[in-house]
A and B are shown apart, each in its own frame.
Chain A
């Protein structure tokens, strides 16, 4: 019979189980702590954790294998993760990659013989306006040049990494602010006003504002809160989706670093509206650097009676917020996958319906909203629905934070009214002359120059805020390839069309690269992509073929006529 060698870690894991709770929802936090301390998760740790949480070892093994930030094998003291996603790729990722390999004498996926460094690729670190980006353990460095690689590694070798500020070299890059970003002084006014209102009136105010979810799906926030409020449950949850993983999106990073009070105020208002006492911020692992910063804000708000019990003197209104870290899985941005992840499971999207507002975290009604949605909601509570509807289009109110990156002079954050055209954005960002713009990230749509008069709004081109500009010389097949590589890695693997479809499309792109794809096979792949759009289980699979289909549609001739480099 197989046995596991006991090394005495049992007590430590039992303590962690005490700290986080003896149930499966504690699994990810415990795995994070063990990874931070020991650099890997051993079979013994898995068995001990299973025993401590009352689950089976396969549950731990299976879950750990899902997340890229957990590893079973020993890695280096410093895990160097180079962002390989589109914007960093366009900013010269491969040159940095080559230099990292040269400096360390290893390939990606390997660890140096001295055990100091492991070299890996990461998917979108959310630094698209300042790529190429490198994450070393929890610290992020941006605008890394091949020449700067040596110095970065030297800092690690000298043990100075910890001395570098949490933010590393991350910049904010707010280029254009608007009503949302300019309203810092009204902090907590929204909460005060909300608490003076009845729940029904508060929800009506949000409905009247016509605020639609800022994560990209565009579901009306007021309706979501109304259903959550009406759902019956002993407990309810407010969850902030801070798993900002869509390639080309980095606006939530700015909001969480610069406007964390606003975010938590928005969550508190939501909790009042739906009758929840618990709030969770699901923060992506790549944003670990801001965790302690937000935790401090939570503490400060507790001290100021803006969180906790009888908030701001409102009898019986209690609300607490905690942060739970993701572990490197883009699909967890899908709200039901996020909930599964919070429950300590693999981040596999659930069947919908039922929706989280009815059956969410721990099967209780749960309102999951994006960071920007909570921020906007807090301002709507402060300034009223009308203030919000002054901006935007008739159907989609307000301004939206656009994360602009790619081939332009001024990448960064732009707060723009809904309905802004792509042309207008290109002028602002200094990206005129582009051949295409990717709106909505890898899962969005690729808009060719002929359609730059289209509007950014849910009724035309929808986006969670990602705008990636492709200049006149970009090879669009390489763009499609980068996106498909992303989806092959990030598909949860659950549903058949997405699990295998992305792989087949990527293989097809490689055939196109070599000039070896027949048009008949290309049309099979398009047909496959269309089936993925229609028949996949979640938003990831339903959108992963978008870019490929768009690019073949608009740039098919250019791609088939490419010069082939053997």
Chain B
């Protein structure tokens, strides 16, 4: 197992100098820290809280909000603790009349141009501006108050933009440019006229935006939120002629508890099932089922490509790239329209599920697909975009009518007055409520690959993957790009051509790393690889743009732990052993994986979106 690249920006200068500690005094307390530790980090180690607004653990330093200013002895002006590297002994005060005055003035300035009612704001429970204003007792609007909105709210995409609430901290821009390397949005203008804009003020989805929503999970206010579709769901639920089914993806259940007071890392799978039943969904299904189905389809597709390459010696696009992540798909369509053949043609589990519901499930239960409202609970804002893609209706009906985020469903559950963590818990509904642990781990980076390896290895060799507890450690974890080699020492007759081969796989998450993979691919440096998993969001779906706010490296790790722990508690750990998967191939997709019917319903095509110049 090798590791190639890291998402975390590790400051090498810090690493090298551990051992040479510098003594600083903060509010009279001494601490010794490695050189280049920031004042904010040092204060945090001492348990001293310094308020921040533009700072975010995941992002590069802006130093623009000036909330975290501190006094350094001997310096004329206040310094921002988030940006200031400690390189010599310092005497620092985090609290003084001057500091308090500066922070209050900053908050007052922000409030004077922040338009919108907290009561109706989607972020009213965790708005950082509101929190700090309360903390500092800033409530008198010294510098005036906006009486009229200055901007129209833009609802042109899954991400709703309300610039009236934007404080210009540039977290979204830094997320888009540095964290994801997409650069759909930027700062336009100068001075107090600045605003966050897309190129030429195009609609978000016309820009390079992939709707990943990472900006929204880092926005300190309600300026960036997901498009709220819950009203439509309530209407459907209240309409007796509608059969409303919901599929739930693995990542939301690992994070939903955070919105109900649980610490990150506590799964609420069964409580969530009960809550969704109580909300009024007619059926609650498990997206893990189509994750398993994806493994069958995508795994078969890969083996067919390998056969074509190795046995028939024909040119074929390898490595095969995964296609579950709709943000990644749009990114690929923009960035590498010439390489679309490398993508698996498989729809994502969400869309496969939608297609199955409107066909197999409808037929089996004698329900007119017209009357089915197919809803999904996803950790993801890009899933809304994916559900609305025009090609996602191969059955004649839209696969997924509504894709809801974790945050939206949490609002519905709350509206029902349900105390989620303390519900008794219920099972998923039949017949599409069985998913394997392999499907579950789709929620974490490397999960698709691990699931594929568990199945492919067994299908090809006839033996179970010989790893402790089926863990494929090499593809787990938060390194930006991970690789693993899997030697095939023996093979069953069908796959004899693979005997002696080594399956080489790569896993990347976060579009910054995805871009690197595409560059490598284009440069011909991935010729040895067979299968590459790419997830749009750093950490995988567990940190999707629809997940609870806030997010941080620690939170992502905790959610991943919850997912892997739940996987090992399940009786079913391999996709190909899922009885519902077996059944659907017996009853419905009778030609087997990648057969004609599969291709019609479960596979898709992509849209080159490269140059805008025509």
Binding site for B on A (CB under 8 A): 1-6, 10, 43-44, 46-48, 51, 55-59, 61-62, 65-66, 329, 346, 351, 353-354, 488-497, 499-504, 524, 527-528, 530-537, 542
Contacts and interface: CB of A to CB of B under 8 A. Distances in A.
B243 to A, nearest CB: 35
A61 B191 contact: no
B77 interface: yes
B442 to A, nearest CB: 30
Given A56-B183, A58-B199, A527-B101, A6 B192 contact: no
Contact of A524 (B142, B197, B613): B142
B193 A493 contact: yes
B215 to A, nearest CB: 13
B288 interface: no
A388 to B, nearest CB: 27
B192 A537 contact: no
A3 B102 contact: no
Nearest to B65: A496
Given A493-B189, A535-B69, 5 more contacts: A499-B194, A531-B102, A532-B105, A534-B69, A535-B106
A534 B98 contact: yes
A504 B168 contact: no
Given A56-B183, A534-B78, A499 B192 contact: yes
B186 interface: yes
Contacts of B109: 496-497, 500-501, 504, 528
B66 A6 contact: no
Contacts of B112: 500, 504
Interface stretch (B200-208, B252-260, B506-514): B200-208
Contacts of A488: 191-192
B365 interface: no
B235 interface: no
A211 B194 CA distance: 39
A26 to B, nearest CB: 18
A56 B207 CA distance: 10
Contact of B200 (A61, A354, A500): A61
Contacts of B188: 61-62, 65
A452 B47 CA distance: 51
Nearest 8 CB-CB pairings of A with B: A62-B186, A56-B183, A535-B102, A351-B83, A58-B186, A493-B194, A500-B109, A531-B105
Contact of B77 (A353, A496, A500, A533): A533
Given A495-B66, A496-B106, A500-B109, A3 B614 contact: yes
Interface string B111-124: 01100000000000
Contacts of B142: 524
12 contacts: A47-B199, A58-B186, A61-B188, A329-B190, A490-B191, A504-B109, A528-B143, A531-B105, A531-B106, A534-B77, A534-B78, A537-B66
Contact of A530 (B101, B113, B202): B101
Contact of A58 (B61, B87, B207): B207
Given A530-B101, A535-B69, A61 B78 contact: no
B614 A6 contact: yes
B85 interface: yes
Nearest to A44: B613
B102 A534 contact: yes
B189 A47 contact: no
A5 B613 CA distance: 6
A51 B183 contact: no
B146 interface: no
A230 to B, nearest CB: 14
Contact of A497 (B66, B208, B611, B613): B66
Nearest to A5: B614
B48 interface: no
Contacts of A496: 64-66, 106, 109-110, 167-168
- Mostly helix, strand, loop or mixed at chain B's interface? loop
Nearest to A490: B191
Given A58-B208, A489-B191, A495 B63 contact: yes
A1 B77 contact: no
B272 interface: no
Contact of A353 (B69, B85, B186, B194): B85
B609 interface: yes
B612 interface: yes
Interface string B571-614: 00000000000000000000000000000000000000101111
Contacts, number: 164
Contacts of B83: 351
B613 A4 contact: yes
Which one of B98, B194, B202, B207 has the highest number of Cβ atoms from chain A below 10 Å of its Cβ? B194
B495 to A, nearest CB: 42
Interface in B166-188: 167-168, 170, 183-188
Contacts of A532: 105
Contacts of B194: 493, 499
A63 B368 CA distance: 54
Contacts of B192: 488, 491, 493, 499-500, 502-503
Contacts of A542: 77
Contacts of A58: 183-186, 197-199, 207-208
B190 A491 contact: yes
B342 interface: no
A537 B61 CA distance: 13
A47 B612 contact: yes
Given A489-B191, A500-B110, A500-B113, A528 B105 contact: yes
A493 B190 contact: yes
A115 to B, nearest CB: 23
B273 interface: no
A495 B77 CA distance: 15
A20 B161 CA distance: 37
B186 to A, nearest CB: 4
A58 B184 CA distance: 7
Which one of B63, B112, B167, B207 has the highest number of Cβ atoms from chain A below 10 Å of its Cβ? B63
Contacts of B322: none
Interface string B65-88: 110010000000110100111010
A353 B143 CA distance: 32
Given A46-B199, A61-B199, A56 B208 contact: yes
B80 A492 contact: no
Given A493-B192, A504-B143, A527 B105 contact: yes
B612 A2 contact: yes
Given A6-B613, A497-B106, A497-B109, A43 B187 contact: no
B64 A66 contact: no
Contacts of B190: 65-66, 329, 346, 489, 491-493
B201 to A, nearest CB: 9
Interface string B355-378: 000000000000000000000000
Contacts of A533: 77
A534 B167 CA distance: 21
Contacts of B203: 2
A47 B110 CA distance: 34
A416 B206 CA distance: 60
Contacts of A490: 191
B441 to A, nearest CB: 34
B183 A536 contact: no
B106 A499 contact: no
Which one of B101, B106, B207 has the highest number of Cβ atoms from chain A below 10 Å of its Cβ? B106
